[in-house]
Structure 1
Amino acid sequence: MQLVCPAGNLPALQAAIDAGADAVYAGFRDQTNARAFPGLNFSDEELSAGIDYAHARSRKVYLALNTYPDSVRLAHWQAAVDKAAEFGCDAIIAAEMAVLDYATRTHPGLARHLSVQGSATTAPALHYMYERFGISRAVLPRVLSIQQVERLCMNSPVPLEVFGFGSLCIMVEGRCQLSSYVTGASPNRHGVCSPASFVRWEEEQDGRRSVRLNKVLIDRFEPAEPAGYPTVCKGRFDVGGEVFHALEEPTSLNTLELLPRLAQAGVTALKIEGRQRGVAYVSSVTRTWRDALDRYHRSPQDWQLQADWRRSLSAHAEGHQTTLGPYHRHWH
């Protein structure tokens, strides 16, 4: 299985490659990708340099163009497809059909991966995208049970990629409305959940910190309590007089224990989430998964989950805890 790792900037790209990533995924410094945070992503020159760095080491670079343009701004996404082809990207990762259609017609030699934002969870959806746009891979949303993944691997016309580790989204990717409900800025159109311009941190008199998103109180933290980036789905709210994580507790998906089963199902690639995370995260998580994959490849029958792998990944997880998420769901 291919190990696909995040690259939020050039140092992270280099760190992922050096730690053993088979491929990295990156985005331009604009709203064409779903991690359009200030200070993240690549200029034209940086992306070109990153592609050179990866290709010199026989690794691949995929360009995330996974947001949804409106008709007025479609030309901007089309220009990004043109740059991906010009710079020598190994594939684009796209969700919106107009973007896929343009790439299919204009750059037929540029590989097209269906983004997780495309929300393809059924064999008919995958067949449609393959027949209409010639996709060569699809990234599955993080809402499927392991049994559903196995059945899709049996019936998909294209190789499948799944998320192996990282932040877990409670909504079917490509359909979340929570951030846009509070801010008016859609993650799917503007490229970021909880845009930084709407975030406000405040010090309270009792020493706690509060964080608001467009004036809506998302959470309060004790002085020594780790504070994550504020998103509506992972906030704490007063429900019937009780304050708790009403939608989702901060945690990270970790499918490492399912690696043998995913491999036997025929999953082509494992993706690590985290283009918004730093070099230390990218390097450590990539190195851990590289070791696990290499050991499985050398001796599948002897492969066992190692305690040091679990500790390493838990240290980089949201809330310092991990979950199998929907993978362990018994009903499906």
Structure 2
Amino acid sequence: MELLCPAGNLASLKSAIKAGADAIYLGLKDDTNARSFAGLNFTPAKLAEAARFTHAHGRKIFLTLNTFPKPGEEHRWYQAVDLAAEAQVDALIVADMSLLDYAHHKYPDMPLHLSVQASATNAKALEFYKQTFNIERAVLPRVLSMKQVRDLAKEHIVDLEVFAFGSLCIMAEGRCHLSSWVTGESPNTGGSCSPAKHVRWQESGDARFTRLNNVLIDKSNLNDQMGYPVVCKGRYCTASQNQADFLLESPTSLNTLSLLPELYQAGVVSLKIEGRQRSPAYVEQVTRIWRQAIDSFMNNPSQFAVRREWNAMLAKVSEGQITTLGAYERSWQ
């Protein structure tokens, strides 16, 4: 199984490769990708440098173009496809059908991966994208159970990639507009659920108040471990409950180490680590642990066991220092 790791800058990319990543995914320094934060991502020159470095080490590099073009500005997304071809990336990760069409016809030899933002969750959807745009791989949304992943893999339509570790999304990716109700900016076109310009933290006594576009979405203790503020992970009161609580989703991270044998047996080809917005230290640590785990499993599948120290280290870099199997452990489907 391929270990696919994130890079928000060259330092993270080099850390991932040094720690054992098989492939790297990254985005351009604009809103063509869904991690459009100031100080992150790659200029065209840095993309070319990243591609040269990655290929020199025998690894692969994928460019993420997973937002949807804004009306009248489509040319910027098309230009990003051209840049990817010029840099000789190994694949494009795309959600929008017009971009898939453009890339498929202009660069027919460039591998296309269907982004999780396309929210393709069934065989008919995958068949459509395969027949229409000749995609080679699909990134499955994090709302699917293990049974659903296995059922899709049995169809052998395209290669399947799943998120293995990192921040969770409880929504059907690509279809969520929850944060736009607060910020007025859609994450599907703007590149971020919570644009940094809208985020405010205020400390008072031993409390920290988190606001998004002046809307209070959380109150926590100063020592609480908190993730990046997004609407779905805020704490709220209801008409029947005056005590604020996590009503939609609590800050936690996905960790599927224990599912390695099942994912392998299902035929999943790529395990994706979330975190292009995280530090090089995070990327190095998570990559190193997953490299050890995958190698341990592949060397002796029947005797594979998750080491306690692996989970302990991963928990330290997780949101809220808590991990979960997410939708994979749903038993009711």
After superposition, where does 1:65-144 map in structure 2 within 5 Å? 65-144=65-144
Q: For 1:142 and 1:225, how far apart are their aligned partners in 2? A: 26
Q: Deviations over 1:16-42 (max 9, x none)?
A: 011000000000000000000111101
CA offset at residue 45 of structure 1?
A: 1.5
Q: For 2:49 and 2:169, how far apart are their aligned partners in 1? A: 31
Q: For 2:221 and 2:122, how far apart are their aligned partners in 1? A: 44
Tell me the equivalent position of 2:268: 267
CA offset at residue 111 of structure 1?
A: 0.7
Q: For 1:283 and 1:290, how far apart are their aligned partners in 2? A: 10
CA offset at residue 290 of structure 1?
A: 0.4
Q: Deviations over 1:141-173 (max 9, x none)?
A: 000110110010001411100000000001011
Tell me the equivalent position of 1:175: 175
Tell me the equivalent position of 1:229: 228
Q: For 1:41 and 1:123, how far apart are their aligned partners in 2? A: 33
**Equivalent AA in structure 2 for residue 208 of structure 1:** A
After superposition, where does 1:150-165 map in structure 2 within 5 Å? 150-165=150-165
Tell me the equivalent position of 1:219: 218
- For structure 1, list consecutive stretches of 5 or more residues without a partner in the other structure: none
Q: For 1:5 and 1:293, how far apart are their aligned partners in 2? A: 14
**Equivalent AA in structure 2 for residue 226 of structure 1:** Q
Tell me the equivalent position of 2:29: 29
Q: Tell me the SS of whatever aligns to 1:291.
A: helix
CA offset at residue 331 of structure 1?
A: 1.3
Q: What is the TM-score of this pair, normalised by structure 2?
A: 0.98
CA offset at residue 229 of structure 1?
A: 1.6
The sequence identity of aligned pairs, in percent, is 53
Q: For 1:111 and 1:52, how far apart are their aligned partners in 2? A: 18
**Equivalent AA in structure 1 for residue 53 of structure 2:** Y
Q: For 1:266 and 1:202, how far apart are their aligned partners in 2? A: 47
Give structure 1 regions of 4+ aligned residues with deviation exceeding 6 angstroms. Answer: none
Q: Deviations over 1:220-264 (max 9, x none)?
A: 121322333210010111122121011101000011100001001
Tell me the equivalent position of 2:287: 286
**Equivalent AA in structure 2 for residue 211 of structure 1:** T
Tell me the equivalent position of 1:303: 304
Q: For 1:156 and 1:315, how far apart are their aligned partners in 2? A: 37
Q: For 1:159 and 1:226, how far apart are their aligned partners in 2? A: 36
Q: Tell me the SS of whatever aligns to 2:179.
A: helix
**Equivalent AA in structure 2 for residue 218 of structure 1:** I
Q: For 2:26 and 2:316, how far apart are their aligned partners in 1? A: 24
**Equivalent AA in structure 2 for residue 215 of structure 1:** N
Q: For 2:324 and 2:226, how far apart are their aligned partners in 1? A: 19
Q: Tell me the SS of whatever aligns to 1:243.
A: strand
CA offset at residue 109 of structure 1?
A: 1.0
After superposition, where does 1:36-51 map in structure 2 within 5 Å? 36-51=36-51
- For structure 2, list consecutive stretches of 5 or more residues without a partner in the other structure: none
Q: For 2:8 and 2:206, how far apart are their aligned partners in 1? A: 33
Paired positions, count: 331
Q: Tell me the SS of whatever aligns to 1:77.
A: helix
Q: What CA RMSD, in Å, does the superposition of the two structures yield over aligned residues?
A: 0.9
The answer on whether the counterparts of 2:225 and 2:319 sit within 8 Å (CA) in structure 1 is no
Deviates more, 1:293-302 or 1:84-93: 293-302
Q: For 1:229 and 1:313, how far apart are their aligned partners in 2? A: 17
CA offset at residue 8 of structure 1?
A: 0.6
Q: For 2:221 and 2:190, how far apart are their aligned partners in 1? A: 32
Tell me the equivalent position of 2:187: 187
